[in-house]
Amino acid sequence: MAVSPRCARAVAGALCAWVRKDGEGAFGMAAESGAAGRGPGGGRRGRAARAVIVDPGRCTVPGPLVLELRCPAGEMVYDRIGPALGRIAAHRPTARTHHWELRPAGPGRAVLTLHGPDPEGFPVGLLADLLTAGGPDEAGPPAPDSASDPGDVPAPGRTRGSEGEAGADPGAGAEEEHGAVGSGGAGSAVVGASDERARGPGVCRAGAHDGAAEAVRRVGVSPLQRELLVGEAAAPGGGRHVEQSLWAWHGPLDTERFRRAWQSVVDRERVLRAAFENAAGPAPALLLHERVTAEVRCLAHGAADWAQLVQRDRRRGMDVRRPGPLRITLLGGVRRSPDTDGPLPHRFVLTYHHALLDEWSVRLLLREFCRAYLAGGRLPGGERRPDVADHVRWLEGRDPGPAREFWSSVAPPAGAGPVPVALPAGAEEPARGTRPGRARARLTPDETTRLATWAADWGATESSALQTAWALLLHRDSGAEGPRPVRFDVAVSGRGVPLDGVERMAGALRNPLPVWIEVDPGGTVPALLRALRDRVLDMGGYEWVSAGQVAEWTGRTGTAGPGETTRGPAPDEEPGSLLVFKSRLRPGPLDGLAEHGIRIEELGTLDAPSGHALTLVAHHDDTGGLVLAATHELPRPGEARGLLREGMHLLRELPRAADGSTTIRRVLELVGTATPDGGAPRCPHVATLRTATRPGAGAVCLVPAHGVPRARYEQVARRWPGPEALVLLDPVPGTVPERRTALRSLAAHGACPVLGGWSGAGSTAHELARLLAAAGSRAPLLVLVDGSAPADALARLLATAAAERAG
């Protein structure tokens, strides 16, 4: 997996949205470098192979997960840790680490400590796969240069996790400083809460709401905001540019404290006191007011119908020229409902304009509100930094050259012909004013686990699997029989940028960016999955770029005014589709609310139209199932429902049908014919590659990685220096029963001190180790090397680990 340096820094910064200072858990892992060289295994000379050794048996010991990393020049420490943990945190909410830190432990060594809530559930194998994905010949990260990029990775020894509470007070003490990403370290940029450097030419005086003069700060807008404002001018009013977040409040509620708490949040967040100047013009600006009264409306039970209230509030829209992009409407509940013979909760809707706030921001603000409510209606501390002005200033300092080069390199040449984007062949373009339609489908928790396991076996996540299924459908519906590029957009958080604290900043950062990928019916599904994984990872380093900038750089732009670009596809492309994989953020300090008999329940989110013909939103529900919701503006609603149904069918079939040799053409043929039960799986067995040279030495087991030919494992056997037998699982056991069958076969060879192989085998190896430990055996060590490591390097590392385990 090619992870660009910018992407590594971006995802490492985004990880702070999930980390926290407290927690407990335990695992053990050590990583080291093997010998490099062009050998029969395919490695290259000049740089050491990337290797990871994991001891899963330590997951039962109380304490943090401690990983000792031994790697050449610290490359893996900086180029892999952030992206790996970030991807796990984003797509496996139950596996999020609460806190992680990195410190040196000698020449070429470092210790990574992870604190987590669920040691036994943490996907250690997937982490090992992600750490070793790709080859050592890939370009490593440049040396940190604080003058050119304030977000570069800090020097070893700096903590890389942070207290992730949205309401944490900047400068509140050592706890926040200890966890800040790169706080005070080399190449870091820390913005203080009292930093008012922008006072000056950008400040004007205006009349405050209470009649007194107030300072109004004028700053620029981001390219994304500029493009959203173009859409506002094209279709004003009607609520098309607002989003809503719906919640239920169970338990006692003090409405006055409710009002005061929201006012405290408004006082703390500059974006909630923002308005646009010249919004429809060629040079819009953002006006940041010092004082704005929170718009909170409290209605008694029976004063309005809830559904009609939400609809009216949406149709009301928002005037972006007036400060205050968030309003709160509360509908009171009753102690006992005649319909349910129980209490009817209070309900409230948060309505906001998506040119100033995104969904992640609103969840952060709700967490702040909860803290303020528990504190009597007032948050301690001053304004949060960084804020929208800091973000705009950071954007203005970016060099667009590398981003332009990247997007120009991945996009098909302009004028290369139609690129299928979203709709089946022959679908009509959505008509103006078409009412959005909705469709919904769901994978069961078991199906979701099966999909996640299949993706993890290839070093990917469920989001990559979803993108793969969508790319397959787009290619099929294009009518092409040979290789052809397809295009769709993916939503990136916009918070994976190297700006300290951006993950806790409220603003309009979520950004739809295009993905072009060539789909070859003769290629394999796993190859497409990995290509999409790498493409989106590389995009992560440039998620501060807007869709309009990408369109301009790639020659796919229409004009919407002087110096402005539209967000739509090229003239030779159909209306596009957007894939959104939402990562849920808890709404606030729920434990504190529970002590007062209060519980907050999410009722749903009503997104603003994305401007795409079809938007597909994925998230995990409370039971662990994967939910897909499609919002479309198609004249024939059945098209969207059909695409969603076929997409879900693919997601169910991929784990069953797509092994290392399965072609895309074959999978698409199976979509319409596969049965829920599928075919009978091949029974895995253990093949002996080398017999033991000493009685009772046991066996070291090679676990196949998808796409690695058997010949490479036979090369390991020819170079095997240990006394243990060397065996190979064949084929890869995919289900728990298959893994238990494989372990019964392995038990005939005696103790198994080590499981190992090339990158991609980590998840299977870890599950086997867990099953062995659950059966009462000592869990074997796991050894993984990157895909280009030579066979002799893997053989030496396996033998070293086996000797360590035997000692």
Pick from 189, 149, 132: which is nearest to 6 by CA?
Answer: 149
Q: By mean pLDDT, which of 163-172, 261-270, 451-460, 529-538 is the weakest?
A: 163-172
Q: Mean per-residue pLDDT for 413-442?
A: 55
> For residue 95, what pLDDT is reported?
52
Q: Which amino acid is at 35?
A: A
**Cα separation, 253 vs 256, whole angstroms:** 9
> For residue 592, what pLDDT is reported?
75
Sign, Cα dihedral of 690, 693, 696, 698 = negative
**Cα separation, 132 vs 75, whole angstroms:** 11
> For residue 97, what pLDDT is reported?
52
Neighbour tally for 412: CB within 10 Å:
16
> For residue 68, what pLDDT is reported?
60
Partners of 52 in the beta sheet?
31, 784
> For residue 36, what pLDDT is reported?
34
**Cα separation, 282 vs 133, whole angstroms:** 45
> For residue 673, what pLDDT is reported?
42
pLDDT tier at 576 (50, 70, 90 boundaries)? confident
pLDDT value at 66 more than 80: no
Q: By mean pLDDT, which of 27-36, 410-419, 697-706 is the weakest?
A: 27-36
> For residue 211, what pLDDT is reported?
41
pLDDT value at 741 more than 70: yes
**Cα separation, 748 vs 751, whole angstroms:** 9
Task: Give how far Cα 203 sits from Cα of 170, 393, 720, Å.
Answer: 24, 15, 72
> For residue 147, what pLDDT is reported?
29
Q: Mean per-residue pLDDT for 279-303?
A: 90
Q: Which tops the pLDDT comparison, 384 or 401?
A: 401
Q: Please tell me whether residue 95 adopts helix, strand or coil conformation.
A: helix
User: What are phi and psi for residue 374, nearest 5 degrees?
Assistant: -70, -25
**Cα separation, 383 vs 268, whole angstroms:** 4
pLDDT value at 289 more than 90: yes
Q: Which tops the pLDDT comparison, 430 or 579?
A: 579
pLDDT value at 562 more than 50: no
Q: Which amino acid is at 544?
A: W
User: What are phi and psi for residue 236, nearest 5 degrees?
Assistant: -75, 155
Classify domain 413-426+435-576+612-671 by CATH architecture: 2-Layer Sandwich (3.30)
Q: Mean per-residue pLDDT for 371-384?
A: 88
Partners of 729 in the beta sheet?
686
Give the CATH fold of the 203-393 domain: Chloramphenicol Acetyltransferase (3.30.559)
**Cα separation, 465 vs 653, whole angstroms:** 11
Mean pLDDT of the chain: 73
Q: Which tops the pLDDT comparison, 560 or 256?
A: 256
pLDDT tier at 115 (50, 70, 90 boundaries)? confident
**Cα separation, 468 vs 642, whole angstroms:** 17
Q: Which tops the pLDDT comparison, 78 or 477?
A: 477
Q: Which residues make Cβ contacts (< 8 Å) with residue 385, sequence separation at least 6?
A: 170, 191, 192, 193, 195, 501
Pick from 275, 168, 175, 263: which is nearest to 216 by CA?
Answer: 275
Residue 773 C-alpha from the chain's centroid: 31
> For residue 668, what pLDDT is reported?
82
**Cα separation, 537 vs 517, whole angstroms:** 14
What is the percentage of the chain residues whose pLDDT exceeds 70?
65
413-426+435-576+612-671: same fold as 203-393?
Answer: yes
> For residue 521, what pLDDT is reported?
92
**Cα separation, 202 vs 8, whole angstroms:** 34
The segment with the largest mean pLDDT, out of 199-213, 350-364, 637-651, is: 350-364
> For residue 110, what pLDDT is reported?
67
- pLDDT tens-digit series, residues 315-324: 898 888 999 9
pLDDT tier at 233 (50, 70, 90 boundaries)? low
Strand runs labelled E in 621-684: 626-632
Q: Mean per-residue pLDDT for 347-374?
A: 93
Instruction: Break the chain into its structural domains and give their ranges.
Output: 5-26+62-179, 203-393, 413-426+435-576+612-671, 685-806
**Cα separation, 400 vs 71, whole angstroms:** 32
pLDDT value at 176 more than 70: no
Pick from 449, 380, 420, 794: which is nearest to 614 by CA?
Answer: 420
> For residue 185, what pLDDT is reported?
27
Strand runs labelled E in 338-432: 342-344, 346-353
- pLDDT tens-digit series, residues 605-622: 888 877 788 889 998 887
pLDDT value at 663 more than 80: yes
Q: By mean pLDDT, which of 626-630, 760-764, 773-777 is the weakest?
A: 773-777
Q: Which residues make Cβ contacts (< 8 Å) with residue 351, sequence separation at least 6?
A: 242, 243, 244, 313, 314, 316, 318, 326, 327, 328, 329
Quick one: residue 611, left, alpha or beta (phi over 0 = left, psi -120 to 50 = alpha)? left
Q: Please tell me whether residue 589 adopts helix, strand or coil conformation.
A: coil
pLDDT value at 465 more than 90: yes
**Is 3.40.50.1820 the CATH classification of the domain at 685-806?**
yes
pLDDT value at 569 more than 50: no
**Cα separation, 499 vs 1, whole angstroms:** 25
pLDDT tier at 109 (50, 70, 90 boundaries)? low
State pTM to two decimals: 0.60
**Cα separation, 294 vs 272, whole angstroms:** 8
Question: Is 151:157 a contact under the CB 8 Å cutoff?
Answer: no
Task: Give how far Cα 432 sits from Cα of 234, 373, 435, Å.
Answer: 12, 43, 9
pLDDT tier at 466 (50, 70, 90 boundaries)? very high
Q: Which tops the pLDDT comparison, 475 or 9?
A: 475
Neighbour tally for 257: CB within 10 Å:
16
Task: Say which DSSP state 663 is in.
Answer: B
- pLDDT tens-digit series, residues 117-141: 666 667 777 878 887 776 443 333 3
Structure tokens at 399: 């060099």
- pLDDT tens-digit series, residues 408-417: 998 886 555 5
User: Does 780 sit behind a cis peptide bond, omega within 30 degrees of 0 on the bond before it?
Assistant: no
Q: Which residues make Cβ contacts (< 8 Å) with residue 744, sequence separation at least 6?
A: none
